[in-house]
């Protein structure tokens, strides 16, 4: 990655903390060269928390074996870092596309990333059911905004054009409607996984296990 990109450390902590992390990751200043940004949220590709140790899995409620217990690391072909590297390579290719000419001054890498992200769930129309408090404006909810950034259309009521119902409970009216009308019924983790992996995930991998009966 360092051969085609300038590499930086992003942190939500203090600059001094980031500098110490740089020393640990790159003591020879080969990759980061002590450069730290702290105000570039729009340039950020958010990564899922990396749970290598068993204590981390327990702390965040994961029941699966940790990578340290399995004596292995994430796969180089489709792990989180490999996925993001592929996104970055595509961004680089699009930004420096020869068809666009050599003048890059008018281009914005943030818009390139936005366009790539917006393709992922294009064509999906999503309704949420009991995922967030009903009295809160749906459009202000982080998962609603996340789905829209991924290119999905979000709405509050079901209609024949809806493709997905996102819920935590199979017993709600909207969830039952999805099942009756052969629409995708998935948990919110489907959107989160799609966001972190930069590609639409298989809906069957994100079922809802809750069978309580509610109205929503």
pLDDT classification of 36: cutoffs 50, 70, 90: low
Of residues 47 and 123, the one with the higher pLDDT is 123
pLDDT classification of 35: cutoffs 50, 70, 90: low
Report the share of the chain in percent with pLDDT over 70: 82
Q: What is the pLDDT of residue 59?
A: 72
**What is the domain partition of the chain in residue ranges?**
40-115, 121-205
Q: Is the dihedral of CA 94, 122, 168, 203 positive or negative?
A: negative
For residue range 93-146, list pLDDT tens digits in order.
999 998 888 888 888 888 999 999 999 999 999 999 999 988 889 999 999 999
Report the share of the chain in percent with pLDDT over 90: 44
φ, ψ of residue 215 to 5 degrees: the values are -115, 130
Compute the mean pLDDT over every residue in the chain, rounded to the nearest whole number.
84
Q: What is the pLDDT of residue 41?
A: 64
Protein fold of 121-205: Rossmann fold (3.40.50)
Give 28's contacts (C-beta < 8 A, 6+ positions apart): none
pLDDT classification of 214: cutoffs 50, 70, 90: very low
Instruction: Return the residue matching tokens 């970055």.
Output: 88
Average pLDDT over residues 13-27: 83
Cβ atoms within 10 Å of 92's Cβ, excluding its own: 15
Alpha-helical runs (H) found in 26-182: 54-59, 67-70, 80-95, 109-118, 142-149, 173-180
Of residues 33 and 68, the one with the higher pLDDT is 68
Of residues 15 and 99, the one with the higher pLDDT is 99
Q: What is the pLDDT of residue 133?
A: 87
CA proximity to 180, closest of 199, 196, 165: 165
Can you give the pTM of this predicted structure? Answer: 0.77
CA proximity to 107, closest of 120, 123, 94, 116: 94
């Amino acid at each position: 990655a360092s051969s085609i990109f300038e590499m930086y450390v992003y942190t939500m902590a203090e600059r001094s903390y980031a500098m110490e992390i740089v020393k640990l990751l790159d003591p020879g200043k080969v990759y980061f060269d002590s450069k730290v940004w702290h105000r570039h949220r729009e340039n950020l590709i958010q990564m899922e928390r990396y749970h290598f140790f068993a204590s981390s899995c327990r702390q965040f409620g994961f029941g699966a074996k940790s990578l340290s217990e399995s004596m292995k690391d994430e796969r180089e072909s489709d792990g989180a870092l490999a996925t993001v590297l592929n996104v970055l390579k595509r961004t680089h290719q699009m930004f420096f596309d020869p068809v666009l000419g050599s003048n890059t001054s008018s281009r914005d890498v943030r818009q390139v990333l936005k366009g790539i992200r917006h393709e992922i769930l294009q064509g999906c129309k999503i309704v949420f059911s009991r995922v967030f408090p009903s009295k809160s404006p749906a459009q202000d909810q982080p998962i609603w905004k996340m789905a829209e950034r991924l290119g999905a259309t979000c709405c509050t009521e079901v209609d024949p054009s809806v493709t997905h119902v996102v819920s935590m409970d199979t017993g709600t009216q909207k969830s039952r409607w999805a099942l009756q009308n052969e629409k995708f019924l998935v948990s919110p983790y489907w959107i989160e996984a799609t966001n972190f992996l930069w590609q639409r995930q298989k809906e069957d991998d994100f079922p809802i296990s809750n069978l309580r009966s509610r109205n929503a």
